[in-house]
Amino acid sequence: MTSNPTIKRALLSVSDKTGILELAKALADRGVEILSTGGTAKLLAEKGLVVKEVSSHTGFPEIMDGRVKTLHPKIHGGILARRDLQSHLDAMEEHGIGAIDLVAVNLYPFDQATAGDNVKLEDAIENIDIGGPAMVRASAKNYTGVTIIVDPSDYVKVIDEIKSNDGATTLKTRSGLAAKAYAHTARYDGAIAAFLTSLQGTEGALEDTPARIEYPEVLSMQFHKVQDMRYGENPHQSAAFYREAKAPVGLLANYRQLQGKELSFNNIADSDAAWECVKTFDAPACVIIKHANPCGVAVAEGSLNAYLKALKTDPTSAFGGIIAFNRTVDEATAQAVAKQFVEVVIAPAFDEAARAVFFAKQNVRLLEIPVEAGMHKFDYKRVGGGLLVQSPDERNVQQSEIRIVSKRQPTEQQWADLMFAWRCAKFVKSNAIVFCKDGMTMGVGAGQMSRVDSARIASIKAQNAGLTLADSAVASDAFFPFRDGLDVVVDAGASCVIQPGGSMRDDEVIAAANERDIVMVLTGVRHFRH
């Protein structure tokens, strides 16, 4: 067998028809015989291509409503036969089996068929592809002689290679496509396993719509490598960045880098924290992140004003930080940001003038991400030998749900400050205490072992930045276990506090709020972030 056998016969049978016509035409132009089934065969025939139905090739009709059509020795023998073994060639001649040199197959859309909440088990079962994965796996196993394509984005590469390589593909290409094919079937089988193990009460009739549990017995995940990192959190650690196969558009993984050095492990981790926070605001907003914590958050009229306010919170910590905007960055904003040392700037878009400003700072990484709704289905945390899995923290408390527990009632301005502070606290590492006023953070205390220390640090941060905390609002991500933390924030100047409540000493803390004559409201929702 030559290392690169000429393609003489191809089998095309795809669920996703993207680009299949172009591939078929390129093959037909080189005299390749095309086998096909069902909708693919119909499409190609309608476009004037000569197509041989698989049933005609095998001499056996499709049966059982199409469940059995490609599961035949003339198909799998043609795919699996080793061209370098005489015994295989003799068997092909004896049984009238022709070699199949290229297979383009993608599978029934099981994910889409089972995406809803009211999926009938019968519909799910009928969307489990059998013949397709069998052909994919067989072709990938025999990649030394067969080209397998499961992704329409690879058609052009294969077409170009066939044209430049006398009707053949290279072994390097075939081996790469084979690896991709096995990843494709692994993801497909994983989706089926996840669905079936998530069912409850499937003992009933197939037409029933079974209940589904949130966490399946088997959790299958697949991520595609985007890039290797220079190193991990520290230089002695290796690292890489992977993207989910179907990550929602508005998430960080779908960034487009416009300029700058390669992103590092820490850049990506911090950028995610910045983006998740800034996109929750409706008004123009800016978030500055350092070591996964916001060191400045603000809303204002326009991105420039939001940035200038956010920077005031903690200009020292902002040095070398990650900056995110939820609006297009214009020239004035770019000029202000460019005065600082910044690692990454994130926004839905950068106008031409802003791009020109940053062009002079080529080390600054610019990331564009669409502001679109989208959440991970699960959040994950790796532990030794296992994985913690939870739903994402997407609970947004409305003002109407919040209980006023103090004698003093909040003013309209205090309500605005409290709601802003509560939104910011959700993105600060626990224990979190956040002072806010007039749409900006004034002091942030993060990641301390005691809440009272977070309160002290937040007030010290504000003092160091030259900010007054008089009449500020304070958010605590979890309840105050004692009144000491409350006393610290009131002594610093806070006039209103928002917290979840739920402590066995709530009455004591509420009494302290009344004693200090401040507003206190309870959300009933905690936002721990570890």
For 346-369, how does the pLDDT look when each residue is reduced to its tens digit (9 = 90+)?
999 999 999 999 999 999 999 999
Structure confidence at residue 151 (pLDDT)? 92
Q: Encode pLDDT of 121-134 as tens digits.
A: 777 887 788 888 99
pLDDT band at 56 (very low <50, low <70, confident <90, very high): confident
Structure confidence at residue 488 (pLDDT)? 96
Given a cut of 90, whether residue 195 has pLDDT beyond it is no
| Active-site residue, selected from the candidate residues 8, 141, 180, 361 | 141
Chain position carrying tokens 């053949």: 168
Buried b (16+ CB within 10 A) or exposed e, 342-357: bbbbbbbbbeeebbeb
User: Cis before residue 464, ω within 30 degrees of 0?
Assistant: no
Structure confidence at residue 210 (pLDDT)? 65
Domains of the chain as residue ranges with CATH: 9-200 (3.40.50.1380), 252-368 (3.40.140.20), 400-522 (3.40.140.20)
User: Per the structure block, which two tokens stand in for 354?
Assistant: 């802003």
| Active-site residue, selected from the candidate residues 52, 291, 312, 361 | 291
pLDDT band at 119 (very low <50, low <70, confident <90, very high): confident
Average pLDDT, the chain: 91
Structure confidence at residue 1 (pLDDT)? 44
Structure confidence at residue 487 (pLDDT)? 96
Given a cut of 60, whether residue 177 has pLDDT beyond it is yes
Q: What is the rounded distance in angstroms from the CA atom of residue 41 to the CA atom of residue 54?
A: 9
Structure confidence at residue 199 (pLDDT)? 78
pLDDT band at 208 (very low <50, low <70, confident <90, very high): low
141: annotated active-site residue? yes
Beta strands in 150-210 (DSSP E): 199-200
Q: What is the rounded distance in angstroms from the CA atom of residue 283 to the CA atom of residue 279?
A: 10
pLDDT band at 244 (very low <50, low <70, confident <90, very high): confident
User: Per the structure block, which two tokens stand in for 483?
Assistant: 């009144």
Given a cut of 80, whether residue 340 has pLDDT beyond it is yes
Q: Please state, as a whole number, how many other Cβ atoms lie within 10 Å of the Cβ of residue 289.
A: 30
Structure confidence at residue 203 (pLDDT)? 52
Beta strands in 74-228 (DSSP E): 102-106, 147-149, 199-200, 211-212, 223-228
pLDDT band at 31 (very low <50, low <70, confident <90, very high): very high
Given a cut of 50, whether residue 204 has pLDDT beyond it is no
**Is the separation of the CB atoms in 127 and 111 below 8 Å?**
no
Out of 156-165, 428-437, 465-474, least confident range: 156-165
Total-model pTM: 0.84
User: Per the structure block, which two tokens stand in for 54?
Assistant: 């698989």
**Is the separation of the CB atoms in 285 and 297 below 8 Å?**
yes
Cα–Cα distance list, 107 to 123, 129, 147, 185, 209 (Å): 15, 6, 17, 9, 24
Q: What is the rounded distance in angstroms from the CA atom of residue 129 to the CA atom of residue 134?
A: 9
pLDDT band at 59 (very low <50, low <70, confident <90, very high): confident
Amino acid at 328: T
Amino acid at 338: A
Out of 180-194, 212-226, 437-451, 491-505, least confident range: 212-226
Given a cut of 60, whether residue 107 has pLDDT beyond it is yes
What 3-state class would DSSP assign to 269?
Answer: helix
Out of 63-77, 92-106, 353-367, 415-429, least confident range: 63-77
Given a cut of 70, whether residue 173 has pLDDT beyond it is yes
Q: Which helix (H) or strand (E) holds 206?
A: none
Q: Encode pLDDT of 480-491 as tens digits.
A: 999 999 999 999
